[in-house]
Structures are given as C-alpha cells and as structure tokens.
Amino acid sequence: MVTGSQVTPEEDKIQFSLRPKRLDEYIGQRDLKGKLKVTLEAAQARKEPVEHMLFYGPPGLGKTTLAHIISNEMGSKIYATAGPALQRSGDLMGILTNLNEGDILFIDEIHRLSPTIEEFLYPALEDYKVDFVVDKGAFAKVINVPLKRFTLVGATTRAGSLSAPLRDRFGLYYHIDFYPPDDLAEIIIRTASLLNSYIDSESAQMVAMRSRGTPRIANRLFRRVRDYAEVKGDGRVTLELAERALDAEGIDSLGLDNLDRKLLKIVLDYYKGGPVGIEALAATLNEEADTLVDMVEPYLLKIGFVQRTRRGRMVSAEAAKHLGVALSGGSQQGLFDK
Ligand code: ADE
C-alpha cells in the first residue's frame, strides 16, 4: 500500500494497527457516520458499488481510516495510493484494470494529481472505461479498455484546490471537522486499551485538550505519555505524569507545539502582528508554505489565533496573551480582536 506523505512509515504502521475497522468502532463525527451508514446500506441493498466520494478536511482526522472502513463494510478490496505517487497514466492503467466490481480505489492528496492523470481518470469515473494510447506518431492508436465498476474514494486537505471537472465527478462529499475533547478522550482510552495500557478519564481528558482536535495527534501524545509513565512511574498514567510528559514534549495547555508558537511569535515580534504573506512567513520559519497551510494553520485558524486576510496572515490579541507577549501600545498593527 502506498501511503500519504504527511506521516512517517513508522507512524503509519502504528496508526494502522489502531485504526477502527468498522463504522461502529469509529468514535466521533456522528453526522458523517450517520450519512455514510445510509449510503453503504443502500448500496448493499441494491448490490451496487458505492458512488465515488470525497473526504475533505485537515490532516489526521480519519480520512484514510474511513476509506478502509468503507472497504471492510462493503466486503471489497481497497487499493490505496496518493496523488503525487501517480506519475504516469500507465501506472494508473495497471491499478484500474486490476480493480474488481465494488473495489475501492483510495487516492489521498487527490488535489495533487497531475492534469494528465486527472484527464485519464475522467472516463474511468464516468463510464468505467479508459482510453489508452499505444504507439506514437502516425502509428498511435487509442485502445478503449472497459473497467469493472469500482468506487473512487478521494481525500484532500484542500477541497478548493480540486479542479471543477474532478470535483463534479464525485457523488458524495463529506467534510471531516476537528473533534471535540470528549471524543478525543474516548479515542485515547480506546487506544490505551488496544496497547494493553491504562489511562484514567481525567488524564485522557487532559491529553485530549492538548490534541488540537486531531485523533492522530491524540494517539501520538498518548504514546509519549505512556513512555513517560513507564520510565518515570509504574506504567500507569496519572494526571501529574501526563502533564509532565507533555510539558517535556513542548506541548502547551492548548496543545500548541514549538512550531505553532514559533509561527505566532514571528508574526508578533517580526511583523508586528501581521499581515504577513504565507511565503514570507514560510521563508522566515525555514518551512514549506504547504506545511504551514496544511498542517499548522488549520488549528490556529480554528481557535482564532490566526486570521487569513487578503493582505496576509494576522495574529489575534488572544494569541499574544497566550504566549505572554506584551502588546506595546498600538505598535502591533495587525492584531485583531476575535
Ligand atoms: N483512532 C483514530 N481515529 C479514531 C476514531 N475516530 N475512532 C476510533 N479510533 C480512532
């Protein structure tokens, strides 16, 4: 299986073993789960493949997990790949012709498909056929290859970057939003039990509060807390040990890490609160602009610490307060009030 680029292979292996396999095991996103359940049951009753569907939302919220759940629920196979991994139409041709009726083709980061691959995909999605060109120049021939009726499950952090023709070929769209702390605490308790470990509900709630609404982060922080409890205590996670472990990891009371704080501080100190363009900010931080947009900003936007304006990013007065940055009378031009 080819996986997305946002997680390391090691991280992916651990997350994979913790992933819920069925919809009933999946915690949170109740609306989405309800709608998905109806869709799957209707398709099963009609003995038809599910319509092509798109999951969009920030990374780490369960888009890949849901694609695997759909394949388990439908009793079909899944082939998982990612937009940037599909370079030549020949690669995609091989994948498509090997799919059976009802199989799932999962494409993560689907907004990063090349235009050529996208065009190659259109007839596959609409009419279950591909036009494959063999030979070159005067000998070029188009072979029309029929495909089995499969389901494309696309995932993206940026629905707005999807081309209109591709977007229009999905029958179902599901937005995945950040999880509330109660759901994350439940996920952490489930993970602890799968890892033959234990965490009390108060500590789980505290870790959840620092997980930025994201199950992937909650599970990662839980593993750090568990390590700490095993080394510094008797292995049982207590509130005090959990707090010390997260402090040692540089995760603050709102779940912000070093990069979040560095970003906010640079906007505050260097750009007087903003506005600052994302490219300038990325260069100052020595990070890719895409990393900031996809991985760092969404939660800062969600909690109102950052605002995107036409002139660039601005940081809120509340963020300055959280960081203990003194506001020097009127000089911080960009600060906005939530
Ligand atoms: N692990 C990661 N996300 C999860 C979820 N939504 N439900 C249960 N376990 C999870």
What is the whole-number distance in angstroms between the Cα of residue 170 and the centre of ligand 1?
A: 25
Among residues 81, 103, 108, 151, the one annotated as catalytic is: 108
DSSP 62: S
Q: What residue ranges in 19-169 does DSSP mark as E strands?
A: 53-56, 78-82, 104-108, 129-134, 141-146, 151-156
Place of tokens 């995760």: 251
Domain that holds residue 61: 29-175
43 and 154 in one domain? yes
Tell me the per-residue pLDDT of 188-229, one tens digit each, with 9 for 90 and over.
999 999 999 999 999 999 999 999 999 999 999 999 999 999
Q: In the listed set 197, 225, 248, which residue is the last one of a domain according to the structure?
A: 248
122 and 94 in one domain? yes
CATH number of the domain at 208, please.
1.10.8.60
Question: Does the CB atom of residue 62 touch ligand 1 within 6 A?
Answer: yes
Question: Does the CB atom of residue 305 touch ligand 1 within 6 A?
Answer: no
161 and 67 in one domain? yes
What is the whole-number distance in angstroms between the Cα of residue 174 and the centre of ligand 1?
A: 17
47 and 167 in one domain? yes
- Identify the pLDDT of residue 330: 47
Instruction: Reply yes or no on whether the pLDDT at 1 is more than 50.
Output: no
Check if 63 is active-site: yes
Question: Does the CB atom of residue 213 touch ligand 1 within 6 A?
Answer: no
290 and 327 in one domain? yes
User: What mean pLDDT, rounded, does the chain reach?
Assistant: 92
Residue 2 included in any domain: no
Residue 4 included in any domain: no
Q: Is 237 exposed, middle or buried (0-12, 13-18, 19+ CB in 10 A)?
A: buried
Q: Which atom of ligand 1 is nearest to the CA of 27?
A: 7
- Say how many domains are in the chain: 3
Among residues 64, 65, 156, 191, the one annotated as catalytic is: 64
User: What gap in Å lies between CA 269 and CA 13, rounded to an integer?
Assistant: 40
What is the whole-number distance in angstroms between the Cα of residue 186 and the centre of ligand 1?
A: 9
Residue 165 included in any domain: yes
Please state, for a pLDDT cut of 70, what percent of the chain lies above it.
93
User: What gap in Å lies between CA 188 and CA 209, rounded to an integer?
Assistant: 11
203 and 168 in one domain? no
Residue 217 included in any domain: yes
- Identify the pLDDT of residue 17: 81
Question: Does the CB atom of residue 215 touch ligand 1 within 6 A?
Answer: yes
102 and 45 in one domain? yes
> Is the distance from CB of 155 to CB of 67 less than 8 angstroms?
yes
Structure tokens at 200: 């009390």
Residue 311 included in any domain: yes
Question: Does the CB atom of residue 60 touch ligand 1 within 6 A?
Answer: no
User: Closest Cα partner for 265 from 228, 298, 308, 300?
Assistant: 300
What is the whole-number distance in angstroms between the Cα of residue 187 and the centre of ligand 1?
A: 6
148 and 205 in one domain? no
The residues facing 154 across adjacent strands are 54, 107
Instruction: Reply yes or no on whether the pLDDT at 27 is more than 70.
Output: yes
169 and 68 in one domain? yes
Among residues 63, 112, 220, 313, the one annotated as catalytic is: 63
Q: In the listed set 202, 221, 248, which residue is the last one of a domain according to the structure?
A: 248
Tell me the per-residue pLDDT of 46-91, one tens digit each, with 9 for 90 and over.
999 999 999 999 999 999 999 999 999 999 999 999 999 999 988 8
**Model pTM above 0.85:** yes
Q: In the listed set 228, 248, 268, which residue is the last one of a domain according to the structure?
A: 248
Tell me the per-residue pLDDT of 225-275, one tens digit each, with 9 for 90 and over.
999 999 999 988 999 999 999 999 999 999 999 999 999 999 999 999 999
The helix or strand, by DSSP H or E, that contains position 173, with its residue range, turns out to be strand 172-175
Q: Which atom of ligand 1 is nearest to the CA of 218?
A: 2
CATH number of the domain at 288, please.
1.10.10.10
131 and 223 in one domain? no
Check if 284 is active-site: no
Question: Does the CB atom of residue 102 touch ligand 1 within 6 A?
Answer: no
Check if 313 is active-site: no
39 and 158 in one domain? yes
Q: What Rg do the C-alpha atoms of the chain give, in angstroms?
A: 23
CATH number of the domain at 170, please.
3.40.50.300
158 and 109 in one domain? yes
Check if 216 is active-site: yes
Tell me the per-residue pLDDT of 132-147, one tens digit each, with 9 for 90 and over.
888 888 888 888 999 9
Q: Residue 211's Cα: distance from chain center in Å?
A: 14
Q: What is the mean pLDDT of residues 153-172?
A: 95
β-pair type (141-146, 151-156): unpaired
Residue 275 included in any domain: yes
Residue 19 included in any domain: no
Instruction: Reply yes or no on whether the pLDDT at 3 is more than 50.
Output: no
Residue 253 included in any domain: no
